[in-house]
Amino acid sequence: MTLTFLGAAKTVTGSCYLVESENVKFLVDCGMFQGRHENNNANEAPFPFDMQAIGFLLLTHAHIDHSGRVPKLYVDGFRSPVYTQKASAELCTIMWPDSGHIQEMEAEWRSRKNIRAGKAPIDPLYTAADAQEACTLLSPVSYDEAFQPHPDIKVIFRDAGHILGSAILEIWVTENGATRKLVFSGDLGNINMPILRDPALIDGTDCLIIESTYGDRLHPASVDKADHFVNVINDTIRRGGNVVIPSFAVGRTQEILYDINRQRDILGAKVDSIFRTPVVVDSPLAISATQVFRNHPECYDEEAKSYIIDGENLLDFPNLRFTTSMEESKALNLDDEPKIIISSSGMCDAGRIKHHLKHNLWKPESTIMFVGYQAPGTLGRQLVDGLKKVTLFGEEIAVHAQIEVMEGFSGHADRDGLLNWVAAMKQKPERILIVHGEPEVMEIFSASIQSRFQIKTDIPSFGVCLDPFGVSYEIKVTQTWGPELVDRRRDVSGSGERLPVPVDRRRDTSGSGERLPVPVDRRRDTSLAFDPMDRRKPDAAPDAGTRQYPLQPPGNKSRSETAEAENRQKPRSHADQTHESRIRLLQQEYGSLFQSLRREAEREGNRTMSGFLDMKLRELETTLKHLLTGGRR
């Protein structure tokens, strides 16, 4: 059996691992690389394996750095099941289309910039419609129940306590008559976190693949965290400023809401000013995610369950409001009333948080409070590291606001949390492979493991393939494209020529209505295998013993793309016109229904449900628009 590291290797994001035994190949996670600019190239890279040979995918949780490239897998032809815990599956159905929407917006922005410079436009990694189709692959499973995705493989998902539905994977692989066990920690949760249970303990394993995000430090004690959190908010309110909290829409946002709510019981009058201050969740995705949290109380810890038994809504309180429209979001920055604004994205690289930073970073009375990990290269990391000036929307902004880091809210276990989790195993692993961390942190964590347990550790690099139960050996997925001036995404012939293809209707920005020739879609170029992290010169020879992975056939298009291409070539028939009329009628009928339900929710004072209905209406409109443009299902 071999294990190939295709992400989260000497970096924190892009989690993806290929497991190959004598009779089956499968993936564990397929997440997006986030942070530094070169990570965009890694996300766009063709997958270095035969898509049709992958039997299934095991998904530890829904966060985009673990699941965000699954829709790209789908676009490239992957049709095997994606097994994940039930709550994670539901979260993916809102997070993947949201990610697709972001990909479309970013591609549109980059394309406008390229066209003005006389360059080729950019295609999105995948669209919201692609992501919705990818959700059909999800196969939900329950915690603590064994299942067999293949006769030689047995899997159990255990609660990782990181976010709702997050899982530790116990995997038994039978090969040549012998059964060995792998455990993937996934993102291991912090102990005593709001809402969620502590990470489940594992009996043991032969080989452990463990994360190391905070493997070099300790989180502050829970009491200190709560006291500091309240003090920072009170001080900012007294100064007349806003508390801006960049937060991941899934996980941290819900935990912050819960923690604010329960501080009244813990700290009494000290939090009165907080409950007189508007607390605003400005993230449509967070609104939908909060509803998913309400749908899965089986994932809650005993304290959170006791709130439900007492009839309390642990994710709501009188001064909490949700904003859905862009107009509501902009209005938050038009008055001087102090507010607590919780907005995504958590690393400040996208989303509405960038607008709030533009309006608050320059104000010394305001506070920017970070409650989650900030990857290198992100705006969030730059602010945490003390950057004094930033550029937002083309405008230079001085950083005068107070910058606070609240590591106590982290959803990741710290060094002792990770070590104590390993210590609880009755059967210690023979080998530990360290992933999902910054290189210097991984080295420190590796030394801690060896000092405490005397267990062999390895820190694999990207593209390394090894036997998890034997002697390590390195086989890289190497970069093999031609001269650097040739854009690998555009050249599928090897000649360096750019090939015209039928234009995507989104690329006509001239107003003429003409269809503009654009380069071939990069997602269909599977003729070149390469290592996106390999920085050698283009003409460097492959390493000896390099495995050349079989690649999927070129031109392997998704069903929606194929249908769209066929529809573009056909004249509009009477049936097509009837089809369009019916869809437009559906738009009117469902639009009226959603608006009616929304008004009813507002009359009952249910702000969360009102926001949730707004989100679902937008999703429906996206789907109907997709159908109108030819993508029939």
DSSP-derived 3-state class of residue 149: strand
What is the mean predicted confidence (pLDDT) over 12-41?
A: 88
What is the mean predicted confidence (pLDDT) over 469-493?
A: 43
What is the reported pLDDT for 314?
58
- The domain defined by 2-217+411-466 folds into Metallo-beta-lactamase; Chain A (3.60.15)
Both tokens assigned to 502: 């039928």
User: For a pLDDT cut of 70, what percent of the chain falls above it?
Assistant: 67
What is the reported pLDDT for 488?
26
What is the mean predicted confidence (pLDDT) over 462-488?
A: 58
Helices and strands (DSSP H and E) totals, the chain: 17, 22
What is the reported pLDDT for 87?
94
Distance separating alpha carbons of residues 537 and 483, to the nearest angstrom: 9
DSSP state letters, 320-383: EEE--SHHHHHHTTSS----EEEES-TTSSSSTHHHHHHHHTT-TT-EEEE-S---TTSHHHHH
* Class level of CATH domain 222-409: alpha beta
What is the mean predicted confidence (pLDDT) over 335-350?
A: 84
Q: How confident is the model at residue 247 (pLDDT cuts 50, 70, 90)?
A: confident
Helix 222-239 vs helix 252-267: crossing angle, to nearest 10: 90
Gyration radius of the chain over CA positions? 25
pLDDT tens, 345-359? 778 877 788 889 999
Among candidates 346, 338, 391, 331, which has minimal Cα distance to 363? 338
What is the reported pLDDT for 526?
30
Of 51-65, 230-244, 301-315, 572-586, the range with the lowest mean pLDDT is 572-586
Q: How confident is the model at residue 166 (pLDDT cuts 50, 70, 90)?
A: very high
Domain 2-217+411-466 and domain 222-409 have a common topology:
no
Q: Strands of 436-484 (E only): list them.
A: 456-458, 465-466
**Residue 54 one-letter amino acid:** I
Distance separating alpha carbons of residues 234 and 270, to the nearest angstrom: 9
pLDDT at 511 over 90: no
Q: How confident is the model at residue 147 (pLDDT cuts 50, 70, 90)?
A: very high
Whose tokens are 């070149």? That residue is 528
pLDDT tens, 252-310? 566 676 776 766 666 667 778 888 888 888 877 777 777 787 888 888 888 777 766 66
* Range with the largest mean pLDDT of 71-80, 118-127, 530-539: 71-80
Of 126-130, 202-206, 247-251, the range with the lowest mean pLDDT is 247-251
251 phi-psi bin (left φ>0, alpha ψ -120 to 50, beta other):
left
Of 110-114, 455-459, 475-479, 601-605, the range with the lowest mean pLDDT is 475-479
Distance separating alpha carbons of residues 258 and 290, to the nearest angstrom: 11
Q: 54 - beta bridge partners?
A: 25
Q: Strands of 72-135 (E only): list them.
A: 82-85
Give the DSSP H or E segment for 45: none
Give the DSSP H or E segment for 522: none
- Name the phi and psi angles at 152, rounded to 5: -95, 0
Q: Select the more confidently predicted residue: 360 or 307.
A: 360
What is the reported pLDDT for 528?
28
pLDDT tens, 589-631? 666 666 666 666 666 666 556 666 666 666 676 666 666 665 4
Domain boundaries, the chain: 2-217+411-466, 222-409, 574-628
Q: Select the more confidently predicted residue: 166 or 302.
A: 166
End-to-end Cα separation, the chain, in angstroms: 40
DSSP-derived 3-state class of residue 318: coil
Whose tokens are 């360096």? That residue is 496
- Name the phi and psi angles at 12, rounded to 5: -95, -20
What is the reported pLDDT for 285?
75
Distances (CA, A) of 170 to 144, 203, 351, 516: 10, 10, 35, 51
pTM of the model: 0.69
- The dihedral through the CA atoms of 489, 494, 500, 501 has a sign that is negative
